[in-house]
Structure 1
Protein backbone atom coordinates (compact mmCIF):
# COMPACT_ATOMS: atom_id res chain seq x y z
CA UNK A 1 0.00 0.00 0.00
CA UNK A 2 1.35 3.40 -0.99
CA UNK A 3 -0.91 6.22 0.16
CA UNK A 4 1.35 8.96 -1.20
CA UNK A 5 1.15 7.53 -4.71
CA UNK A 6 -2.60 6.94 -4.29
CA UNK A 7 -3.08 10.58 -3.30
CA UNK A 8 -1.04 11.73 -6.28
CA UNK A 9 -3.09 9.63 -8.70
CA UNK A 10 -6.37 10.80 -7.13
CA UNK A 11 -5.20 14.42 -7.50
CA UNK A 12 -4.29 13.86 -11.15
CA UNK A 13 -7.65 12.21 -11.87
CA UNK A 14 -9.62 14.95 -10.08
CA UNK A 15 -7.69 17.57 -12.04
CA UNK A 16 -8.35 15.72 -15.30
CA UNK A 17 -12.09 15.61 -14.56
CA UNK A 18 -12.07 19.33 -13.77
CA UNK A 19 -10.41 20.07 -17.11
CA UNK A 20 -12.02 17.51 -19.43
CA UNK A 21 -15.21 16.43 -17.62
CA UNK A 22 -14.31 12.73 -17.99
CA UNK A 23 -15.59 9.92 -15.76
CA UNK A 24 -13.47 8.14 -13.15
CA UNK A 25 -13.59 4.60 -14.53
CA UNK A 26 -12.49 5.63 -18.02
CA UNK A 27 -9.74 7.86 -16.63
CA UNK A 28 -8.47 5.21 -14.23
CA UNK A 29 -8.48 2.55 -16.94
CA UNK A 30 -6.51 4.85 -19.25
CA UNK A 31 -4.10 5.70 -16.45
CA UNK A 32 -3.69 2.01 -15.62
CA UNK A 33 -2.97 1.16 -19.26
CA UNK A 34 -0.34 3.88 -19.65
CA UNK A 35 1.30 3.63 -16.25
CA UNK A 36 1.08 -0.05 -15.31
CA UNK A 37 4.25 0.03 -13.21
CA UNK A 38 3.00 2.99 -11.19
CA UNK A 39 -0.45 1.52 -10.63
CA UNK A 40 0.74 -1.94 -9.65
CA UNK A 41 1.64 -0.99 -6.09
CA UNK A 42 -1.12 1.44 -5.27
CA UNK A 43 -4.41 1.01 -3.50
CA UNK A 44 -7.21 1.43 -6.04
CA UNK A 45 -9.88 1.50 -3.33
CA UNK A 46 -8.27 4.48 -1.62
CA UNK A 47 -8.01 6.33 -4.92
CA UNK A 48 -11.70 5.65 -5.63
CA UNK A 49 -12.64 6.75 -2.11
CA UNK A 50 -10.74 10.04 -2.45
CA UNK A 51 -12.04 10.68 -5.94
CA UNK A 52 -15.67 9.93 -5.09
CA UNK A 53 -15.52 11.74 -1.75
CA UNK A 54 -14.06 14.93 -3.20
CA UNK A 55 -16.46 14.79 -6.16
CA UNK A 56 -19.50 14.36 -3.92
CA UNK A 57 -18.48 17.06 -1.45
CA UNK A 58 -17.00 19.64 -3.83
CA UNK A 59 -19.43 22.40 -2.80
CA UNK A 60 -18.69 21.86 0.90
CA UNK A 61 -14.94 21.73 0.22
CA UNK A 62 -15.02 24.89 -1.89
CA UNK A 63 -16.96 26.73 0.81
CA UNK A 64 -14.31 25.74 3.38
CA UNK A 65 -11.55 26.87 1.04
CA UNK A 66 -13.28 30.20 0.40
CA UNK A 67 -13.79 30.76 4.15
CA UNK A 68 -10.06 30.39 4.71
CA UNK A 69 -8.69 32.56 1.93
CA UNK A 70 -7.11 35.88 2.86
CA UNK A 71 -7.72 38.57 0.24
CA UNK A 72 -8.39 35.96 -2.45
CA UNK A 73 -11.38 34.64 -4.33
CA UNK A 74 -11.61 30.95 -5.10
CA UNK A 75 -11.75 31.61 -8.85
CA UNK A 76 -8.21 33.09 -8.66
CA UNK A 77 -6.73 29.81 -7.41
CA UNK A 78 -5.05 27.71 -10.08
CA UNK A 79 -6.87 24.49 -10.86
CA UNK A 80 -3.94 22.43 -9.62
CA UNK A 81 -3.87 24.23 -6.27
CA UNK A 82 -7.65 24.05 -5.97
CA UNK A 83 -7.53 20.30 -6.56
CA UNK A 84 -4.80 19.87 -3.94
CA UNK A 85 -6.76 21.95 -1.40
CA UNK A 86 -9.96 20.01 -2.03
CA UNK A 87 -8.13 16.73 -1.53
CA UNK A 88 -6.45 17.88 1.69
CA UNK A 89 -9.60 19.32 3.23
CA UNK A 90 -11.50 16.18 2.30
CA UNK A 91 -8.89 14.03 4.05
CA UNK A 92 -8.85 16.28 7.12
CA UNK A 93 -12.65 16.20 7.43
CA UNK A 94 -13.62 12.73 6.30
CA UNK A 95 -10.64 10.35 6.43
CA UNK A 96 -10.27 9.46 10.10
CA UNK A 97 -7.27 7.24 9.36
CA UNK A 98 -5.29 10.24 8.07
CA UNK A 99 -3.88 12.57 10.73
CA UNK A 100 -4.36 16.26 9.98
CA UNK A 101 -0.60 16.89 9.92
CA UNK A 102 -0.16 14.12 7.35
CA UNK A 103 -2.91 15.53 5.10
CA UNK A 104 -1.29 18.98 5.24
CA UNK A 105 2.22 17.67 4.63
CA UNK A 106 1.04 15.56 1.69
CA UNK A 107 -0.75 18.57 0.19
CA UNK A 108 2.42 20.64 0.47
CA UNK A 109 4.43 17.85 -1.19
CA UNK A 110 1.91 17.66 -4.05
CA UNK A 111 2.17 21.43 -4.48
CA UNK A 112 5.98 21.24 -4.59
CA UNK A 113 5.82 18.62 -7.30
CA UNK A 114 2.92 19.82 -9.44
CA UNK A 115 2.59 23.58 -8.97
CA UNK A 116 4.73 26.71 -8.90
CA UNK A 117 7.25 27.82 -6.27
CA UNK A 118 4.72 29.89 -4.33
CA UNK A 119 2.13 27.11 -4.10
CA UNK A 120 3.48 25.21 -1.05
CA UNK A 121 3.36 28.36 1.10
CA UNK A 122 -0.10 29.25 -0.22
CA UNK A 123 -1.45 25.72 0.37
CA UNK A 124 0.06 25.65 3.86
CA UNK A 125 -1.46 29.05 4.68
CA UNK A 126 -4.97 28.10 3.59
CA UNK A 127 -4.81 24.78 5.44
CA UNK A 128 -3.35 26.43 8.57
CA UNK A 129 -6.31 28.84 8.58
CA UNK A 130 -8.65 25.90 8.09
CA UNK A 131 -7.47 23.89 11.08
Structure 2
Protein backbone atom coordinates (compact mmCIF):
# COMPACT_ATOMS: atom_id res chain seq x y z
CA UNK A 1 0.00 0.00 0.00
CA UNK A 2 1.35 3.44 -0.89
CA UNK A 3 1.88 5.81 2.01
CA UNK A 4 -0.65 8.31 0.59
CA UNK A 5 -3.26 5.54 0.49
CA UNK A 6 -2.34 4.52 4.04
CA UNK A 7 -2.76 8.12 5.21
CA UNK A 8 -6.15 8.39 3.49
CA UNK A 9 -7.30 5.10 5.02
CA UNK A 10 -5.97 6.25 8.42
CA UNK A 11 -8.00 9.46 8.09
CA UNK A 12 -11.11 7.42 7.29
CA UNK A 13 -10.51 5.13 10.28
CA UNK A 14 -9.89 8.09 12.62
CA UNK A 15 -13.05 9.76 11.33
CA UNK A 16 -14.99 6.59 12.15
CA UNK A 17 -13.41 6.36 15.61
CA UNK A 18 -14.20 10.04 16.26
CA UNK A 19 -17.83 9.83 15.14
CA UNK A 20 -18.88 6.41 16.42
CA UNK A 21 -16.27 5.58 19.09
CA UNK A 22 -15.27 2.47 17.13
CA UNK A 23 -12.36 0.37 18.28
CA UNK A 24 -9.24 1.23 16.25
CA UNK A 25 -8.78 -2.35 14.99
CA UNK A 26 -12.37 -2.60 13.75
CA UNK A 27 -12.18 0.86 12.15
CA UNK A 28 -9.03 -0.20 10.26
CA UNK A 29 -10.67 -3.46 9.23
CA UNK A 30 -13.71 -1.54 7.98
CA UNK A 31 -11.71 0.91 5.82
CA UNK A 32 -9.59 -1.88 4.35
CA UNK A 33 -12.77 -3.52 2.97
CA UNK A 34 -11.29 -7.01 3.10
CA UNK A 35 -7.94 -6.03 1.60
CA UNK A 36 -4.69 -6.85 3.41
CA UNK A 37 -3.57 -4.58 6.23
CA UNK A 38 -0.62 -2.22 6.21
CA UNK A 39 1.91 -1.62 8.98
CA UNK A 40 2.14 2.13 8.31
CA UNK A 41 -1.66 2.47 8.40
CA UNK A 42 -1.78 0.66 11.75
CA UNK A 43 1.09 2.78 13.13
CA UNK A 44 -0.78 5.96 12.21
CA UNK A 45 -4.18 4.96 13.59
CA UNK A 46 -2.98 3.32 16.80
CA UNK A 47 -0.39 6.08 17.30
CA UNK A 48 -2.96 8.88 17.03
CA UNK A 49 -5.33 7.05 19.37
CA UNK A 50 -2.56 6.32 21.88
CA UNK A 51 -1.21 9.90 21.88
CA UNK A 52 -4.54 11.68 21.29
CA UNK A 53 -4.38 13.89 24.39
CA UNK A 54 -0.87 15.11 23.66
CA UNK A 55 -1.64 15.62 19.95
CA UNK A 56 -4.92 17.43 20.70
CA UNK A 57 -3.18 19.70 23.21
CA UNK A 58 -0.58 20.65 20.60
CA UNK A 59 -3.29 21.37 18.02
CA UNK A 60 -5.42 23.35 20.49
CA UNK A 61 -2.47 25.54 21.49
CA UNK A 62 -2.01 26.49 17.84
CA UNK A 63 -5.62 27.26 16.89
CA UNK A 64 -6.67 30.89 16.68
CA UNK A 65 -10.30 31.70 17.44
CA UNK A 66 -11.20 27.99 17.19
CA UNK A 67 -11.56 25.12 19.58
CA UNK A 68 -10.81 21.54 18.67
CA UNK A 69 -14.43 20.45 19.04
CA UNK A 70 -15.62 23.18 16.61
CA UNK A 71 -13.37 21.98 13.78
CA UNK A 72 -14.82 19.98 10.91
CA UNK A 73 -14.36 16.28 11.69
CA UNK A 74 -12.18 15.75 8.61
CA UNK A 75 -9.94 18.72 9.49
CA UNK A 76 -9.62 17.69 13.14
CA UNK A 77 -8.58 14.15 12.29
CA UNK A 78 -6.29 15.19 9.46
CA UNK A 79 -4.53 17.55 11.88
CA UNK A 80 -4.26 14.73 14.42
CA UNK A 81 -2.71 12.51 11.78
CA UNK A 82 -0.19 15.11 10.59
CA UNK A 83 0.74 16.33 14.08
CA UNK A 84 1.27 12.73 15.20
CA UNK A 85 3.58 12.19 12.24
CA UNK A 86 5.50 15.43 12.89
CA UNK A 87 5.99 14.68 16.58
CA UNK A 88 6.34 10.91 16.77
CA UNK A 89 7.60 9.78 13.34
CA UNK A 90 10.72 11.91 12.78
CA UNK A 91 11.83 9.64 9.93
CA UNK A 92 9.11 11.22 7.76
CA UNK A 93 10.39 14.55 6.38
CA UNK A 94 8.35 17.56 7.52
CA UNK A 95 7.71 18.73 3.96
CA UNK A 96 6.23 15.30 3.14
CA UNK A 97 3.88 15.52 6.13
CA UNK A 98 2.77 18.99 5.03
CA UNK A 99 2.35 18.07 1.35
CA UNK A 100 0.39 14.93 2.13
CA UNK A 101 -1.88 16.66 4.66
CA UNK A 102 -2.60 19.52 2.25
CA UNK A 103 -3.35 17.20 -0.68
CA UNK A 104 -5.61 14.98 1.44
CA UNK A 105 -7.38 18.11 2.75
CA UNK A 106 -8.07 19.19 -0.84
CA UNK A 107 -9.59 15.77 -1.53
CA UNK A 108 -11.64 15.23 1.65
CA UNK A 109 -12.08 18.69 3.19
CA UNK A 110 -13.88 21.83 2.08
CA UNK A 111 -12.53 24.76 0.03
CA UNK A 112 -10.67 26.28 2.99
CA UNK A 113 -9.34 23.07 4.55
CA UNK A 114 -5.96 22.96 2.81
CA UNK A 115 -5.06 26.55 3.81
CA UNK A 116 -6.31 26.01 7.34
CA UNK A 117 -4.36 22.74 7.73
CA UNK A 118 -1.21 24.37 6.36
CA UNK A 119 -1.51 27.30 8.77
CA UNK A 120 -2.04 25.18 11.86
CA UNK A 121 0.72 22.72 10.91
CA UNK A 122 3.15 25.62 10.37
CA UNK A 123 2.51 26.82 13.92
CA UNK A 124 2.81 23.29 15.33
CA UNK A 125 6.12 22.84 13.49
CA UNK A 126 7.47 26.08 15.01
CA UNK A 127 6.32 25.01 18.48
CA UNK A 128 8.00 21.58 18.11
CA UNK A 129 11.26 23.22 16.96
CA UNK A 130 11.28 25.51 20.01
CA UNK A 131 10.89 22.59 22.47
TM-score, structure 2 as length reference? 0.88
For structure 2, list consecutive stretches of 5 or more residues without a partner in the other structure.
126-131
Distance in 2 (CA, whole Å) between partners of 1:71 and 1:25 is 34
* Aligned length, in residue pairs: 125
Are the aligned partners of 2:8 and 2:104 in contact in 1 as well (CA < 8 Å)? yes
SS at match of 2:49: helix
For structure 1, list consecutive stretches of 5 or more residues without a partner in the other structure.
none
Post-superposition offset of 1:8: 0.6
Aligned counterpart, 1:23: 23
Post-superposition offset of 1:83: 0.1
Distance in 2 (CA, whole Å) between partners of 1:45 and 1:61 is 21
Distance in 2 (CA, whole Å) between partners of 1:24 and 1:113 is 23
Candidates 101, 110, 114, aligned match of 1:116:
110
TM-score, structure 1 as length reference? 0.88
Is 1:78 equivalent to 2:72 in the alignment?
A: yes
TM-align CA RMSD = 1.5
